[in-house]
Every structure is written in structure tokens, then in C-alpha cells.
Amino acid sequence: MSIEYQEEDVPHVLAVDDNLIDRKLVEKLLKTSSCRVTTAENGMRAMEYLGLKENQQQNSINGNGRKVNMIITDYCMPGMTGYELLQKIKESALLKDVPVVIMSSENIPNRINECLEKGAERFILKPVKLADVKTLRRQLTKC
């Protein structure tokens, strides 16, 4: 019981990015901010990890999904963009309340607004810095 409690205490974050260096950096930033981190290299892998399938009705609890407290994803990814991943998450009864943060190297106001309107918690401009992650971390403790 006490082990479970300790695990619950540390937020679990899923970080999605197709760029290896960025993945390693975000992982380190999150770990430095006392988060447990799982990384995925694209949207499909992220969806698999979360237990989401393309056309699944999201009304039942999916026993294959893992609990995450936050998802942080790159916007520009091959196959499925971060925006599309955000959409899928928000459409899922199980995951719609999980905060989703979008990262992008491009400062495009339309893109930012689009993501925020779709329910993204925050939009972070790359390269990601420790200060950005610390802000997110503070928010997570309030959950």
C-alpha cells in the first residue's frame, strides 16, 4: 500500500516527440522536476500506450490503458500531429481530463490558438527550458 502511495505522489508524464534529442531533453527536464516519464516517438505509439484505438468508442474503461497525469507532445510529427493526438485524447471519455501540453519550435499564432481552443493546457515554444517544466510541475501538484 505504501509503495502505491509513493508512486501516486509522483506525477507520471507521457512525453511524445519524434526527435530523439528533444525526447531525451524533455525526459531529463521532467525527471529533474520529479516526474516519472514515459516517452513515445509518435502519436500512434502514444495512443497505443494510452490504450486508445483509432475507432474505439471510449465509453468503457480500457484495462490496457496506463495512468498518466499529463501528456506533453510535439506539434510537428510524421503521421499524426500533436494537434491530432490532442483531439483523440479530448474525444476519449477516459482521458479527456488529462492535461495536454503542446510543444512547437514554430511561433504560429493560428496554431497556438487552434491547440488552446481544442483544450490544450498550454503551448510551449521550443527549445523547452527548465523554467517551462517547473511551471507545469507546479500545476500538476494542484491536480
116 — phi, psi (to 5°)?
-65, -40
From the CB of 77, what's the least distance to another protein, in Å? Answer: 11
Helix, strand, coil % over all residues of the chain, rounded to 5: 45, 15, 40
Q: Does 20 bind another protein (CB under 8 A)?
A: yes
Please, how many CA atoms are within 13 Å of residue 3, restricted to the half-sphere of its CB? Answer: 0
User: Which position among 7, 9, 10, 24 is part of the footprint of another protein (CB under 8 A)?
Assistant: 24
Question: What residues numbered 101-120 form the site for another protein, per CB under 8 A?
Answer: 105
Site size toward another protein, by CB under 8 A:
17
- How far apart (Å, rounded) are the C-alpha atoms in residues 11 and 46? 17
Our CB check for another protein shows the closer of 105 and 113 to be 105
From the CB of 134, what's the least distance to another protein, in Å? Answer: 12
Q: Taking CB under 8 A as the rule, which mask of x and - marks residues 25-44 in contact with another protein?
A: x--xx--x------------
